[in-house]
Structure 1
Amino acid sequence: MRIGIGIGITGGESLGDVIRHIQRAEENGFDSVWLPNIFGLDAITTVALAGRETSRIELGTFVVPTYPRHPVAMAQQALTASAAAGGRFCLGIGLSHRVVIEGMFGLDYSKPLRHMREYLSVLVPLVEGRAVQFRGEEFRVQAQLTVAGAPRPQVVVAALGPQMLKLAGRLADGTATWMGGLAYLRDTAIPSIRAAAEAAGRPAPRVVSGFPVAVTADKERARESAAKIFAVYGTLPSYRAVLDVEGAAGPADVAILGSEAEVTAQLRALAAAGVTDFNASPFPVEGDPGAVGRTIEFLAGLRRNGEVEA
């Protein structure tokens, strides 16, 4: 299992600070960095710039909402970022949420599965360098892109429910999950997307799973901090559904917390379940000012020593 780190999940950092975090992640030996696209920096632009300032680490988005960007525009951005990063870019996309797409952007969120199916039908051929002639209910596209020096980026979809997981298995390179714990991943998400990919004759999918993480001696305090910091995710229907599948009361119940040995055991369980890429989001623990730095240092050590394998 590859070990990566999420940067900017809480927002508020400058472009220069985020790029420096990415450079440090590369220096620390992480396999990948993953940037959210919420209401701050544009994630694709940021990783494209970071691609010019790094040489090895994979740079991914986790994730860019599809509705505000036409799939041709998304493909053009993704190919440009891939060129900037020398082929080290992974495009993570997702639907976002009704409260954002309808409530904030004023767009129609009534048929999310159809939207993503049509979106991928346009996006994937374009990033593969193929011409597209597509006529659907939402998109009617005739287009082709030529971006010199742009290797094909992988495309992973934030898929949580069973139908979206099957769609991602058939049409994309994998999935990006958040707030799905071990039981959900092992028993629901991974078997579903693997079966869909196999039925479609596609390679085994990537499973990029994001978790709040804290290496700390005070698990109860860490749990309380996680409950506060990530509270909003327990109120959004798509995340609430996977938390319910997991039997979790809230985001704190799926956070990875505890001593070095406890965190290592939890990561090994995820690897055994079939998670291919771990996306760690270290978070501050009230009363433990060294928690974030300690967590980053420990995870970097696990990666360098190869102590978490599938």
Structure 2
Amino acid sequence: MTDYSVLIPFLPRRPEQILPYAGLVHWTHARRLWQGQSLMVEPHHGFVHAAGAGFRVPTGLGVTLMPLRHPYEAALQARSLALATGRSVVAGFGPGAPSLQQALLGAPYRSPLTAAREYLTAVRGLLAGEDVRMAGEYVTCAAQLAPFPSPRVDLGLGVLRPAMARLAGEVADVAITWLTPAAYLRDTVLPAMREGAAEAGRPVPRLTAIVPVALARDDRTPGEIALAGNAAHLGLPHYLDMLRRSGVQVTGTDRAADARALVAGRGFLSGDLGDLVAQLREYEDAGVDEVVLNATGVANCYGPKESSEELRTLLTALA
């Protein structure tokens, strides 16, 4: 059975802005509260604030960027979050854009796959209480995280294309996708994950899809909402490549046109309530284990209150 979860649809400037979305998870059947990388209120800190306010809910980091922290710090923060909330954590990681890698590390990863493999391997060992001894191409670690019982921490890997999906099959507990149409997950991502898992002799990881959504209304234009929530992604080469592989006709030069193509290609879902629920069910049929409802475009166009109400409406219809 597919779970449904909630993404905080903006970068919080104050931790109390998170509370309405934590409340949605607390009071509805939503499985988990997710946050992408934020350079305002850092996601770990925001989730702990929500727990202190009484909303001790399962959380997901989808995804935090590897260049921002050493694997030891990543493992420590993930376990600390689990201890502070008393609930499970999906600690998702991704290499980020080459421009970020260049800015923070002095050079982009020559091989993002190797970097991700080393990073997740180190974090997993540390969370398991192992004495991690690694001198890799990108990760150096000779340390141990003091063993201590905590709620479950699962390792996630941001996945867009087949090679990273295969790697997720080998080393991750969860593959986390963004803007990926259901058919692409079914036909491309999941087969690659199964291949990687088979090679590693381990179970296939869970698949979590973070899906941008908006209810259709007479005063709304879906392409404008899609652009408001995804303009940055439509400028990144790895997202454009994934969308082209999935059959979405993006140009990379006209973001407004690309946002309309995103809607047409079902990378962004819009429709009346019944139609939108049916489109989300396509992710269930594709084999997705968890769908994270992303109302970022609605929040950017109409405000956080509107996005919260829209998420509640969808969760009620999906219950």
Q: What TM-score do the two structures reach when normalised by structure 1?
A: 0.89
Taking the TM superposition and a 5 Å limit, the aligned residue runs for 1:286-301 are: 292-301=307-316
Q: Distance in 1 between matches of 2:105 and 2:42?
A: 16
TM-align CA RMSD:
2.4
Secondary structure at the counterpart of residue 156 of structure 2: strand
Distance in 1 between the 2:48 and 2:14 partners?
15
Gaps of 5+ in 1: 306-310
Segment drifting more, 152-161 vs 200-209: 200-209
Equivalent position of 1:184 in the other structure: 184
Deviations 1:272-298 (A, max 9, x none): 101111111113289978863442122
Equivalents in 1 of 2:147, 2:52: separation in Å? 17
What residue number does 1:58 align with?
58
What's the counterpart of residue 89 of structure 2? 89
Contact in 2 for aligned 1:214/1:285 (Cα 8 Å): no
Residue 56 of structure 1 and its aligned partner are, at CA, apart by 6.0
Structural mapping, 1:1-310, within 5 Å: 1-7=2-8, 9-54=9-54, 57-103=57-103, 106-146=106-146, 148-218=148-218, 221-248=221-248, 249=250, 250-251=258-259, 252-253=262-263, 254-282=267-295, 283-284=297-298, 292-303=307-318, 305=319
Shift in CA distance, 51/107, structure 1 to aligned 2, threshold 3 Å:
farther
Please state whether the residue corresponding to 1:278 is helix, strand or coil: strand
Rounded to whole Å, the distance in 1 between the matches of 2:7 and 2:308 is 14
Q: Specify whether residues 149 and 259 from structure 1 end up closer, same or farther in structure 2 by C-alpha distance, changes over 3 A only.
A: same
Comparing 223-232 with 78-87, which one deviates more in the overlay?
223-232
Once the 2 structures are TM-superposed, how far is the Cα of residue 36 of structure 1 from its aligned partner?
A: 1.2
Deviates more, 1:25-34 or 1:280-289: 280-289
Query: Deviations for 1:172-228, whole angstroms, at most 9, x for unmatched residues?
Result: 102110011122111101111123123323223111111211122349612222124
Q: Given that residues 79 and 147 in structure 1 are in contact (C-alpha distance below 8 angstroms), is that contact kept between their aligned partners in structure 2?
A: no
Equivalent residue of 1:284, what SS? helix
Counterpart residue type for residue 206 of structure 1: R
Count of aligned residue pairs for this structure pair: 303
Secondary structure of 1:62's aligned partner: strand
How many angstroms apart in 2 are the aligned matches of 1:149 and 1:49?
A: 22
Using the TM superposition, give the Cα deviation of residue 122 of structure 1 relative to its aligned residue in structure 2, in angstroms: 0.8
Residues 119-152 of structure 1, C-alpha deviations (whole Å, 9 max, x = no match): 1121111112222122222223221112533234
In 2, the alpha carbon distance for the partners of 1:207 and 1:166 equals 12
Query: In 1, Cα distance between the equivalents of 2:117 and 2:172?
Result: 10
Structure with higher helix content: 2
SS at match of 2:201: coil
1:25-56 CA-partner distances (Å, limit 9, x unpaired): 32233111101113211112222333344566
Q: Deviations over 1:76-102 (max 9, x none)?
A: 111111111223211011111012221
Question: Does 200-209 or 274-283 show the bigger shift?
Answer: 200-209
